[in-house]
């Protein structure tokens, strides 16, 4: 193992947390996106289904944030997915301006096998780091998300290229 003194200096993006997170996310996600497409899901459909599975209904705005997709794109996607019986929209209990979305039983059944494959992919990705380190990483990332979820959103952040 090379000593710190003999290591080549890192470029800025090789030591900048947002760049590292983005690159790791892109590389790992793109590996699984191949599997999702093989099972008949677009990347956006997979993100929506995975975000809704096993949880309470959430607002379209929250869904857009979690799936890293612009809200108008999510709305169009939900139109298609609703027509397939995969998701359904519900009125918010106290705020008529908010529409909630939940996965249907049919949708959950449709995505169940793909979620198993996603868990297996995650296991293979994290295995080299050991269970404890992997859990610590996920806990840290959840904490980062919670701490920064209230930060103003950059309108270009969710664009897919």
Question: Beta strands of 10-77 (E only): which ranges?
Answer: 58-59
> What is the reported pLDDT for 160?
42
Instruction: Give percent of the chain with pLDDT exceeding 70.
Output: 89
Using alpha carbons, list the distances in angstroms from residue 70 to 58, 74, 75: 16, 6, 9
Largest CA distance in the chain: 62
On average, the pLDDT of the chain sits at 89
Whole-number Å distance between alpha carbons of 40 and 35 = 9
59 three-state secondary structure: strand
Q: Mean pLDDT over residues 31-49, rounded?
A: 96
Does position 3 have pLDDT exceeding 90, yes or no?
A: no
Residue of higher predicted confidence among 64 and 6: 64
C-alpha to C-alpha distance for 160 and 152, rounded to whole angstroms: 19
Cα–chain-centroid distance for residue 34? 15
Distance CA 53, CA 108 (A): 6
């Amino acid at each position: 193992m090379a000593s710190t003194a003999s290591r080549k200096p890192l470029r800025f993006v090789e030591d900048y947390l947002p760049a590292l997170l983005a690159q790791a996310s892109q590389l790992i996600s793109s590996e699984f996106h191949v599997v999702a497409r093989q099972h008949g899901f677009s990347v956006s459909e997979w993100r929506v289904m995975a975000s809704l599975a096993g949880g309470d209904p959430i607002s379209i705005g929250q869904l857009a944030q979690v799936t890293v997709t612009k809200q108008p794109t999510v709305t169009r996607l939900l139109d298609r997915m609703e027509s397939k019986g995969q998701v359904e929209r519900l009125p918010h209990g106290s705020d008529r301006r908010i529409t909630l979305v939940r996965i249907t039983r049919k949708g959950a059944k449709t995505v169940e096998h793909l979620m198993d494959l996603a868990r297996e992919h995650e296991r293979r990705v994290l295995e080299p780091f050991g269970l404890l380190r992997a859990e610590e990483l996920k806990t840290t990332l959840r904490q980062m998300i919670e701490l920064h979820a209230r930060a103003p959103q950059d309108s270009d952040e969710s664009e897919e290229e």
